[in-house]
Every structure is written in structure tokens, then in C-alpha cells.
Amino acid sequence: MSIVRASLTPFRLPMQWPLETARGVTRVREGLLVELRGRGELRGYGEAMPLPGFGLESLAESRAALAAALPALLGLDAKDLETNLALAERATGRAPSARAALDSAFHDLAARSRNISVCELLAPCSREPVAVSALLAAKTPREVASAARQAADAGYRTLKLKIAATSVDRDVARVERMRDALGDDCALRLDANGGWEEATAREALRRLAPSLPEFVEQPVAARAIESLARLRSDSPVPVAADEALCHAGGAPAVLAHHAADLLILKPAALGGLRAAQRLADEARRAGVHVVVTGFLDSAIGDAAALQLAAALRSSEHAAGLGGQQLFADDLATIAEPQEGLRALPEAPGLGVEPDPLRLERLASGPAQIFAA
Ligand SMILES: [Mg+2]
């Protein structure tokens, strides 16, 4: 079953609400959709959506890498995942977002050609729904309390809040209100996105500890791995590495320095499902937990991450894939979680594909098409 057509479509998704993190405010996400076609109805999809601050290539670099790689994919056997992934790795060099797009499209194609899900392609996969966390878009302590209550009422058992965008005093107040609003039966996950210096992070971790966070993601800058290791060694709160994993050499350094209790695995930022799965294996051997998490992905990237979360299934930590409508418009519909749980789609492959009308609406330029 050979690949007969490849296309690359730029798109632009407006956020439903501006997302404020320690790195600034995100109002729109831009990406590139890769579609690979075999004969008949066989399709495979992936996307490149680099975000600033994660050590990834720029969108223009993703585009250049993909436009150079796609013609060479024509004629490849859709079922030969290993050969195709090796080619994607060579073709995308230092462009992990571009590599993630090809990795997703190859997994989707290979799974669909066997009529199984990507989860089943990755690992022995149960079809149990995946527990996910809700991301709260709330600034003031009062807004945080009300958003937390709303998410808990919708059935989420893990709630996530971005911190370190303003002062530690304000974050402590926000997190205290969040805990007060929730009582003890919800896990409360915090993400500093590298926004603190080491001394500030130490103070913040100490002051946030009484609110019993599940963990704090990336308290210090991505490259400050020794600083992260020092913080973790005496932190009253579990510490997770996220941005630190996305720079070249970051993941091995985090594991070697025992710099984190958990790794945040974002296939879109790590170069794809295969790279994320490999890192999960290394982490498990080192006794470190992993949490599969989204990267402000479209419905396509979200579907890939959900398949990985189902394959790696954690009983202790909800996946960071809230299934919430992050965007005012998206390439496909994301099924609503029920009671904080997301079911795997029934369809094979990623189980989700772009809606042609929506893609037309959201495209930010013409598609580049390569055909045999
Ligand atoms: Mg994070």
C-alpha cells in the first residue's frame, strides 16, 4: 500500500480565551497540517505547531523541513512504520515539530492500513477511558475558585493552573482559593513554565506546599537543570520537568541529575509518538513517572497524544489532555470528556481526521501538494 500523495496546509486557530503563562499570552496558534494518502481511502494526518520557548524550530523552519521531506515519501509503503520513521528522523534533522508531524501521519497510516487504533499499534491497549486534567483559564483568586468549582462539578478529578506569570504572593492566594474551593478530593497541578529564578522557586514551592499540589511543572528555566535538581532534592512538593525535556540533551540530563519526580511528555514537542514512547521507557527504568500532556494542539495533535496516553496508561496521574475547547474553531471536533474521562475514538488510526470545510475556513494559505 504505497503513499501516492502528500500535502502540507498552513492553518491558524484562534484561542477561545487568551492563555496567560509565565512566557506571555497566547491568542492564536499557527501550524502545518500534513496529509499522506495511500490508494483508496487510506489517509494519515499529523501537524507541526511549534511554540516559542520550547527549543523547537520556527514555523518557517518546520515548513521548509516538511516541504523538503514530503516528495521523498511518495512510493513508501504505508505499512512499513519502522522504515518510514527512520526516514522521517533523517529528513527532519533539527526540526522536532516537523518530525512530530511525519511521525503522527506515519502512525495514523500504518494503524489504519491494519484497521487498528494508534494505541494498539503502540502497545497492548485497553479501551478503558483515559482520566484527564482540566486546564483552568482564570487569573484572580476569585476567578480561580469559580473555575475550579465548575471543573470539579463537571467531573474532573485533576485541575491544572498556570502560575509564575505575576507575583508569588498572588499565586499563593490563587492556589489557596483553588484548594479551598475543591476540598481534598481533587488533585491540583501547577505549571510555572520556567518563570522563576531558583531562590524564588524555592520560596514558592515552600509556600504552595500547604495547598498539597500534585506537582509543580518546570519551576525554573528549561536549561537550568542543575538548579532544577537542587530544588527537587529538598522540595516539599513533587517537581516535574517539561520545557527542560525539549532542548537537545535535556531529557538525558534531567534523568542523570535526578532533576524531576515526573516528566511531562508532549509528543508534539519531543519529535513525535515514537520519541515520547522511548523517553517514557527510559523514565520508567529510572523510577520516574510520566504524564502525557497536550501542547495546545489542534484536534489532530490532541488525538495523537490521547492515543499515546492510552498506550502508556498511568493509574496515578491524569493525562494533561483536558479535551476542552481551547480554540474558537478547530480542524475537527474533540469529544467532550465525561466525568473527567476521555474515551478513545472508535475509528482506526488516530480516530480523528480534519473536517474539509473547517480546514478550508482555517487555512492561512494555499496547500502545497506533492503527487506521484
Ligand atoms: Mg508545562
Question: Is 169's pLDDT higher than 90?
Answer: yes
pLDDT of residue 366: 97
Q: How confident is the model at residue 324 (pLDDT cuts 50, 70, 90)?
A: confident
Tell me the CA–centroid distance for residue 160 and ligand 1, in Å: 10
Cβ contact 160:136 at 8 Å = yes
Q: How far apart are CA 43 and CA 258, in angstroms?
A: 41
Residue 21, pLDDT score: 75
pLDDT, position 19 = 79
CB–CB of 259/253 below 8 Å?
Answer: yes
Catalytic pick from 79, 139, 160, 266? Answer: 266
The fraction of the chain above a pLDDT of 70, given in percent, is: 100
* Whether residue 162 lies in the annotated active site: yes
The CA 197 to ligand 1 mean position distance, Å, reads: 16
CA of 74 to the centre of ligand 1 (A): 36
Distance (Å, rounded) from C-alpha 107 to C-alpha 84?
Answer: 9
Would you place residue 372 in the very low, low, confident or very high pLDDT band (cuts 50, 70, 90)? confident
Q: What is the pLDDT of residue 161?
A: 96
Ligand 1 centroid to Cα of residue 3, in Å, is: 36
Q: Which domains can be identified in the chain, with CATH numbers?
A: 5-115+355-371 (3.30.390.10), 121-342 (3.20.20.120)
Element spanning 370, H or E? strand 368-371
Which residues are CB-neighbours of 156 under 8 A, at least 6 positions away? 132, 133, 134, 186, 322, 337, 340
Task: Inform me whether the pLDDT recorded for 92 exceeds 80.
Answer: yes
| Predicted confidence (pLDDT) at residue 106 exceeds the cutoff of 80 | yes
User: Of 69, 76, 68, which Cα lies nearest the Cα of 109?
Assistant: 76
CA of 142 to the centre of ligand 1 (A): 23
Question: Is the pLDDT at 333 greater than 80, yes or no?
Answer: yes
> Whole-angstrom Cα distance, residue 368 to residue 302?
24
Please name the helix (run of DSSP H) or strand (run of DSSP E) that holds residue 160, with its range, or none.
strand 158-162
- 239: pLDDT strictly greater than 90: yes
CA dist 7 and 319 (Å) reads 31
191 alpha carbon to ligand 1 midpoint, in Å?
Answer: 5
266 is catalytic: yes
- Give distance in angstroms: CA of 53 to centre of ligand 1: 11
pLDDT score for 316? 86
Average pLDDT over residues 174-196: 96
Give the pLDDT of residue 82. Answer: 97
Residues 23, 25: Cα–Cα separation, whole Å: 7
**DSSP reduced 3-state for 212:** coil
Output the average pLDDT for the chain: 95
Determine the pLDDT at residue 225.
97
Question: What CA–CA distance (Å, rounded) separates 309 from 318?
Answer: 9
- Averaged pLDDT for residues 359-370: 97
Ligand 1 centroid to residue 293 C-alpha, Å: 8
pLDDT tens-digit readout, 36-58: 999 888 999 999 999 877 788 99
Output the CA 41–ligand 1 centroid distance in Å. 37
Pairs from 358-362 (Cβ < 8 Å, separation ≥ 24) = 358/329, 358/330, 358/331, 358/332, 359/9, 359/11, 359/33, 359/331, 361/329, 362/11, 362/12, 362/13, 362/329, 362/330, 362/331
Q: Is the pLDDT of residue 24 over 90?
A: no
Dist CA 126 CA 264 (whole Å): 22
| pLDDT score of 55 | 80
Report residues near ion ligand 1: CB below 5 Å. 191, 217, 242
Decide: helix, strand or coil at residue 164.
coil
Task: Give CA angle at 354 (335, 117), nearest 5°.
Answer: 65
Out of 18-22, 48-52, 94-98, least confident range: 18-22
CA distance 327 to 325: 5
